Amino acid sequence: MARQKSILKLQGTIGGISFYKSKDGYLAREKGGVDASRIANDPGFARTRENGAEFGNAASAGKLLRDTLRALAKDASDGRVTARLTQIMAQIKNMDEANARGERSAAEGMSKEEAKALLIGFNFNVNAALGTVFYKAFEVDTETGEISIAGLNPQKDISLPSGASHIILKSGFASINFLTGESEMIVSAPVRLAVNAEVQAVSLKPATVPAIEGTHFILLSIDFVQSVNNVDYSLNNNSYNVLAIVSVE
């Protein structure tokens, strides 16, 4: 893989070289590779097929998690969240001790406590990680999904981006069955605070708990907005917003 440094940025294939645009800029690489039918059938590529099957499983598990949390994640995700989640799901898949190589799954690995630990603290937006934005301790009720914050002082306890007039706090309680693909998330009513609000207790509690049997995820969402004539506007395309997994059961 090579970077294109010329003034003209090419896209397409010329003389066996593929030119394309990625998140890392304009790149070029030699076109080639093994025929797909050979990979699918040649015994010599058995390991390749096994690795591909397991990678696909990890990617699907990550997508299921992202899709379940989309109502919150759509306003607080960075450009590499898909790759970062797939990487973690691949580690969780490796914890599957019940299935043979090529058949291991994130669903089986998720039963391990160390697998859940890998997801606790996951930030969907690395540019606004929870620990760098929110300094106040909070309590999580894993039975109800409630997040309780005692004596929140926005000026002291939150790193406020320039231009923000209000903070919107929410919690999410999700249940995901990675075996069946079923999932559900309940989001709490938002708590909207002015950046200069007085110190107060905050409770973020979903109205109910998910009915689906599965792994439980509790999330804390923090959005920053600028209110103009009672209309809230996001700041810098939501780049300051926070969404983090705070509990996995």
The reported pTM is 0.84
Token reading at 143: 């039975």
**Average confidence score pLDDT of the chain:** 89
| 93, 119, 145 - which closes a domain | 119
Q: Are residues 112 and 205 in the same domain?
A: no
| 90, 119, 148 - which closes a domain | 119
Q: What is the mean pLDDT of residues 136-144?
A: 98
Q: Are residues 132 and 210 in the same domain?
A: yes
Amino acid at 96: D
| 85, 119, 153 - which closes a domain | 119
**Torsion angle (degrees, nearest 10) of CA 161, 162, 165, 169:** -10
Q: Mapping DSSP to helix (H, G, I), strand (E, B) and coil, where does residue 230 land?
A: coil
Nearest to 75 by CA among 246, 243, 232: 243
Q: Are residues 243 and 169 in the same domain?
A: yes
Instruction: Please tell me which residue, 157 or 14, carries the higher pLDDT value.
Output: 157
* pLDDT computed for residue 207 by the predictor: 96
Q: Are residues 89 and 175 in the same domain?
A: no
Span 23-48, pLDDT tens digits: 777 766 656 565 667 556 655 655 66
Q: Are residues 130 and 217 in the same domain?
A: yes
- Of the ranges 13-27, 28-42, 69-83, which one carries the lowest mean pLDDT score? 28-42
First to last CA, the chain: 42
Q: Are residues 86 and 55 in the same domain?
A: yes
* pLDDT computed for residue 177 by the predictor: 98
**What residues are paired with 12 via a beta bridge?**
19
Q: Are residues 85 and 183 in the same domain?
A: no
Q: Are residues 69 and 162 in the same domain?
A: no
Q: Are residues 231 and 136 in the same domain?
A: yes
Note down the domain range covering 242: 126-248
* pLDDT computed for residue 49 by the predictor: 74
* pLDDT computed for residue 1 by the predictor: 52
Q: How many domains does the chain have?
A: 3
* pLDDT computed for residue 154 by the predictor: 98
Q: Are residues 113 and 140 in the same domain?
A: no
Span 46-57, pLDDT tens digits: 566 767 778 899
